[in-house]
A and B are shown apart, each in its own frame.
Chain A
C-alpha cells in the first residue's frame, strides 16, 4: 500500500489550497499606507547614447513626487556577476559595470534609464511618457548577431570592450591537444551546427518590488519577487546601495514562478529602495507583461558547432565543441557560470568519452541579459550531445538505442571521473534506458507508424539519454572555479512548547511545493503528523542565511541542512529523555515519535520532551540549555547527478509541417523520492517547457535590436493541447551517496532531457518518410520551418 504520510507519500500540496482559491499573497497584493508608484522609462532603441534627459516638464506633472536617472546612481555600486571566469589565456573576464539605471548609454530595448515616482500609477505612466519625449537619445547601430559582434570591433556594446567578448573559455584547456589528436586519427567524424534558441522565462507573476524606509530607525524593507531573498539582500544592500545587511530586510512572499529569472537582482529593486528613502513613503513597482519580455533575464541563446569522433560502430572517441553564448547587454548574476561550469562540465553526458574539449566565447549584444533558465547550461549541453549522437547514428546507419547502450557508463564504474571535471557518484543508466524501452513500447512502434501513415502523417521517435549536475554546490570547489559566493544552505528547526514545529529554510518555494515536501521529511524523521509542521521561507528576518532555490538544489542542499538540524533536535531530545527517564543517554532510542529506554517500556513522547524543554521543571539545567531549536548549515560534498532516458514520438503533417507530440515517456533516476506526485508534476512541467523550447518558443530580435516577440501574440508558450499525457517513471533509484536523504533533485530534468528527444523524433519521422535530405532543423521546430526543410 502506498504511504499516506511522510517520506514517499504523495501528500497533497498544502500550498495549493491558497494558490487555487485566490488566497496567495504576492508582492503586488500588499496595500500600504502612503504608497507611491514607480514607472520605469525604458529605451525604445537597442543601442544609443544618452544626450540629455530633461526632467523639468515631467516633474511638474500632476502627482509626480520624484524622478531618478542614471546620474542619481552613478556613485553607487554595480550589480555584479556572481562568477569570475578566466579566459583560456588566463586573463580575467571583462566585467563592465551594470548600473542601477542606464547611464551614458542605453544598451537594449527595455533598458531603464529613468524612473518616475508619482501618487498614482497613471500619473507615473503619464510623466514617464513625457520624460521619454523629453529625452534625447542618439541611436547607434545595434549589435545583435553574435558572429558579427565578435567580428566587428568598431561597434561596441561597452565602449571599453573592443571585440564585444566577455571571455574565451576552454574546458579543459590542458586537454585541448589530446582531443585534437584523437580527432586526427578518428575513423569517423560527425559535425553539426546548431542553435539553442533564446527563451523568455514568462513566469506567471511578473517581477514586482516594493521599497519601504523607516526614518525612525533607518531600517529598509524590500518586498520582491525573488527565489533567494538573502542573495538579493547581499546584492542590493552590500554591493549596490551600501545598505548594511542588518538594516535591510528582504521578503519574498508567494512568488508566482521564477524558472531562474527571479534568482537575480535587478535595478528596479534598488530604485524602489532609494526612492522610498528619499520620499519616506513606500514605493511600489510591478512589471507589465511587455516589460517582462523586455527586461527579465532570458535563457539559452547558444550557437554551437559540435564535432564527434567515433569508430564506425558508434563508439564515441572524442567530442569537441565551439560555442558562442549570448550574455546580452550586461552580465546578469549567474550569466558567466551558466554557459561555462553548468554547460562545459556536462559535455561528456552519461557516456564513457575519453576526450572532451569545450570552447565557449561569451558575447555582449544589444539584447536583454541572458542568464540561467530552468536547466541552465545543461539543456544546451544535452541538446548538442544528443543531437550529434543521433546524427552519427544516421550517418553510420546504427541503432540509436544500441549506440547509447554501448557508450553509457556501466553501473560498476562508479564513482566515475569524467574528462570535464566531474565525479559522478552513482547511477544506473542502463536501468533507465531499459525501463524506457519497456514503458514506451518501442517494440510496438511500427504498428503505430502504420496507423499514422494511414492518416497521412509521418511518425517518428526520438531518444535522449541525459544527465545533469544539480544540488549546487560544494563551496570550496566553486570557489576555485570563480564563484564569489558559497553555495551551502541552512535551516532552523524550532520545536514549539506544545510540540508543533516551525522550520525556517534558506530555500524559497515559488511553485515547487517545499511547504509540503519539507514537512513530510520532518514528519518522517520525528514520527509526528505533517500537520504539526509549518515551513517558513522567504523572509530574511525569519530564516537563516541560505542561498535560495535554483539548480534543483532545494531538497538536496537545504533539505540536507534541515535533516541535519532535525538530527540535532533528536540528539538533544535524547539528553532530555535520559534525564526524565533516569537512564543513560546511550540507552535512549528514538523511533516512531518516542524516546524510550532500550529494552524497556519506559518512554516519553516527542511532545512530552518538547514541553519539558520549554517548561524545564524536571530538566538537566546544569548541563543542558532549555529550549528545543537547532540550526544547521549544509555544504554539499559533490554535485548530485540525476539522469534518465526520454522517448518522444511525434506525428508530422508533411503538407503543413505541423508537429504533434503523440507521446512522451520519461524514465528518471532522481535518487530517493520524497513525494512521487510532486516529482511527477515537476517532470510534467519541465518536459512541457522543453516541448515549448523545441516546438514553439522563438525569441526574435530584428537587426535593429527590436524584440519582435514581445507579447503572447507572437511568443508562443506551450498550452495544454500542445503537450501529451505523459508517461513518467522514477522507479530506477540509485540514491545519492553523499547527502543524508539520498536525493538528487528533479526540478530541471524535464527541461534538460526533452528538447533533443523532440527534435530527434521529428528528424526520424522525416527520414522514415523518405526526406533524408533533412539533417537538422533548428528549434523551435515550427510548422513553417519543417515545411521549409521538407521543401528546401
Chain B
C-alpha cells in the first residue's frame, strides 16, 4: 500500500469540499477500496472517510418508503430494516461475512456497482431512489453497466430510499470462491406491478428481466416464468459458469424468488 492522508469530516459539505482536492477519494467501509490499495491498484493521495457523518447513517421508515443513509453498514441494515423490508434486510445479511458486513456500506456498494454485488439487485428491483449531495437519481437511470454509474466527478451518495413492496425475495446463488453472486435475483411485487432485477449474470451489470416482470405482473406465480427463455447472449462466462449456465440460473432463481416472496 502507498502512503496517503486521511481525513474524517463530520458533515456532507465538508466531505464534498475535501473530495474536491487533487487525488482525494471517498472511503466508506473500505471493503472494496482497501484491498485495491493493498494490491497497489489504487493509490489515492487522500482518503475522505464518510463514516463520521451522522446524516449519512441510519435506517428510517418514512412516507416515501425506507430511507437508508449511504454510510450505513450491511449489518445495521440486516438488523434495522428487518421489520420494514425483510427481503432487503435478508439481502444485506447475506453479503460477505460478519467482518465485511460490519464495515461495508450500502453507499460504497452502490458507488462501486460490482456486477456480482447484491445491493444493485435490491435497489433496481425495488425501484429505489439514490440520493446524492446534488440530486435524486432513479435506480433505472443510475446503473449504467459494470462498475459504471450515473455518479459524476465529486458527487457522493448520501442515502437511498426504497419503496416497500407487498412481497419480495432475494435469492442468491453463491460463486463458490468469493461468495459474491454467481447469479442472484431480486423479485418485488408492488400494487402496480412486479419488478425483477438480476445481478451476477450479465456483462452489462445488474438488469431488469422485463419479460418475467410482465408475466409475473399478470400472475405472480412461479409457473408464470416456466415458459420463458433467457438468452445466454451477453451473459458472463468465466471459471465458475458459462453464459448458458448463468442464463439457466436466472430462470431457476427467479422461480425460487417468487416462491420465497413474502
Q: CB of B63 within 8 A of chain A?
A: no
Residue of A657, A708, A713, A717 most packed against chain B (CB within 10 A): A713
Q: Is the CB of A784 within 8 A of B178?
A: no
Question: Hey, which chain A residues are within 8 Å of B252, CB to CB?
Answer: 655-656
CB distance from B37 to the nearest CB of A (A): 12
Q: Is the CB of A784 within 8 A of B245?
A: yes
CA distance A708 to B238 in the complex (A): 10
Interface size of B in residues (CB-CB distance below 8 Å):
18
Question: Hey, which chain A residues are within 8 Å of B2, CB to CB?
Answer: 122
Q: Is the CB of A715 within 8 A of B245?
A: no
Q: CB of B99 within 8 A of chain A?
A: no
Given contacts A713-B177, A714-B177, A782-B176, contact A708 B249 (CB under 8 A): no
CB distance from B198 to the nearest CB of A (A): 15
Choice from B1, B178, B248 contacting A714 with Cβ under 8 Å: B178
CA distance A713 to B39 in the complex (A): 14
Choice from B3, B39, B40, B176 contacting A783 with Cβ under 8 Å: B176
Given contacts A708-B239, A709-B239, A784-B240, contact A715 B177 (CB under 8 A): yes
* Identity of the chain B residue whose Cβ is nearest the Cβ of A657 in the assembled complex: B245
Q: CB of A413 within 8 A of chain B?
A: no
Question: Hey, which chain A residues are within 8 Å of B182, CB to CB?
Answer: 783
Q: CB of A696 within 8 A of chain B?
A: yes
Given contacts A655-B252, A700-B239, contact A713 B178 (CB under 8 A): yes
Choice from B1, B40, B241 contacting A784 with Cβ under 8 Å: B241
Choice from A712, A715, A787 contacting B248 with Cβ under 8 Å: A787
Interface members, chain A 685-727 (any B CB < 8 Å) = 695-696, 698, 700, 708-709, 712-717
Choice from B40, B176, B178, B245 contacting A788 with Cβ under 8 Å: B245
Q: Is the CB of A716 within 8 A of B173?
A: no
Q: Is the CB of A698 within 8 A of B249?
A: no
* Identity of the chain B residue whose Cβ is nearest the Cβ of A782 in the assembled complex: B176
Mask: chain B, 240-256; 1 = CB below 8 Å from A; 0 = not = 11100100110010000
Q: Place the interface of chain A in its size category.
A: 20 to 34
Q: Is the CB of A784 within 8 A of B177?
A: no
CA distance A262 to B248 in the complex (A): 43
* Identity of the chain A residue whose Cβ is nearest the Cβ of B183 in the assembled complex: A656
Mask: chain B, 170-198; 1 = CB below 8 Å from A; 0 = not = 00010011100010000000000000000
Residue of B177, B178, B182, B241 most packed against chain A (CB within 10 A): B177
CB distance from B238 to the nearest CB of A (A): 8
CA distance A125 to B37 in the complex (A): 13
CA distance A15 to B176 in the complex (A): 33
Choice from A122, A708, A787 contacting B245 with Cβ under 8 Å: A787
* Identity of the chain A residue whose Cβ is nearest the Cβ of B237 in the assembled complex: A784
Given contacts A700-B239, A784-B240, A788-B242, contact A656 B177 (CB under 8 A): no
Question: Hey, which chain B residues are within 8 Å of A122, CB to CB?
Answer: 1-3
Question: Hey, which chain A residues are within 8 Å of B245, CB to CB?
Answer: 657, 783-784, 787-788
* Identity of the chain A residue whose Cβ is nearest the Cβ of B245 in the assembled complex: A784
Mask: chain B, 41-82; 1 = CB below 8 Å from A; 0 = not = 000000000000000000000000000000000000000000
Q: Is the CB of B248 within 8 A of A716?
A: no
CB distance from B183 to the nearest CB of A (A): 9
Question: Hey, which chain B residues are within 8 Å of A698, CB to CB?
Answer: 239
Q: Is the CB of B173 within 8 A of A784?
A: no
CA distance A277 to B154 in the complex (A): 52
Interface members, chain A 740-779 (any B CB < 8 Å) = none
Mask: chain B, 1-43; 1 = CB below 8 Å from A; 0 = not = 1110000000000000000000000000000000000011000
Q: Is the CB of B178 within 8 A of A712?
A: yes
Question: Hey, which chain B residues are within 8 Å of A656, CB to CB?
Answer: 173, 248-249, 252
Question: Hey, which chain B residues are within 8 Å of A658, CB to CB?
Answer: 173
Question: Hey, which chain A residues are within 8 Å of B241, CB to CB?
Answer: 783-784
* Identity of the chain A residue whose Cβ is nearest the Cβ of B173 in the assembled complex: A656
Q: Is the CB of A782 within 8 A of B240?
A: yes
Q: Is the CB of A716 within 8 A of B242?
A: no
Q: Is the CB of B249 within 8 A of A716?
A: no
Mask: chain B, 214-244; 1 = CB below 8 Å from A; 0 = not = 0000000000000000000000000111100
CA distance A125 to B40 in the complex (A): 10
Q: Is the CB of B177 within 8 A of A712?
A: yes
* Identity of the chain B residue whose Cβ is nearest the Cβ of A717 in the assembled complex: B177
CA distance A713 to B245 in the complex (A): 19
CB distance from B30 to the nearest CB of A (A): 17
CA distance A658 to B249 in the complex (A): 11
Mask: chain B, 83-109; 1 = CB below 8 Å from A; 0 = not = 000000000000000000000000000
CB distance from B53 to the nearest CB of A (A): 30
Given contacts A784-B245, A787-B248, contact A714 B239 (CB under 8 A): yes
CB distance from A693 to the nearest CB of B (A): 13
CB distance from A141 to the nearest CB of B (A): 23
CA distance A787 to B176 in the complex (A): 15
Question: Hey, which chain A residues are within 8 Å of B177, CB to CB?
Answer: 696, 709, 712-717
CA distance A708 to B239 in the complex (A): 8
CA distance A129 to B43 in the complex (A): 14
Question: Hey, which chain A residues are within 8 Å of B173, CB to CB?
Answer: 656, 658, 783
Question: Hey, which chain A residues are within 8 Å of B178, CB to CB?
Answer: 712-714
CA distance A695 to B252 in the complex (A): 21
CA distance A695 to B40 in the complex (A): 32
Question: Hey, which chain B residues are within 8 Å of A783, CB to CB?
Answer: 173, 176, 182, 241, 245
* Identity of the chain A residue whose Cβ is nearest the Cβ of B248 in the assembled complex: A787
CB distance from B41 to the nearest CB of A (A): 12
Interface members, chain A 649-687 (any B CB < 8 Å) = 655-658
CB distance from B13 to the nearest CB of A (A): 34
CB distance from A128 to the nearest CB of B (A): 11
* Identity of the chain B residue whose Cβ is nearest the Cβ of A696 in the assembled complex: B176
CA distance A712 to B35 in the complex (A): 12
Question: Hey, which chain A residues are within 8 Å of B240, CB to CB?
Answer: 714, 782, 784
* Identity of the chain B residue whose Cβ is nearest the Cβ of A653 in the assembled complex: B252
* Extra inter-chain contacts (20) besides given A696-B176, A708-B239, A709-B239, CB under 8 Å: A290-B39, A655-B248, A655-B252, A656-B249, A656-B252, A657-B245, A696-B177, A700-B239, A709-B177, A712-B177, A715-B177, A782-B176, A783-B173, A783-B182, A783-B241, A783-B245, A784-B242, A784-B245, A788-B242, A788-B245
Sample of 14 A–B contacts (CB below 8 Å): A122-B2, A656-B173, A657-B245, A658-B173, A698-B239, A714-B178, A714-B239, A716-B177, A783-B173, A783-B182, A783-B245, A784-B241, A787-B245, A791-B248
Residues of B within 8 A of A (CB): 1-3, 39-40, 173, 176-178, 182, 239-242, 245, 248-249, 252
User: What are the nearest 5 A-B pairs in CB distance?
Assistant: A716-B177, A716-B176, A784-B241, A713-B178, A784-B245
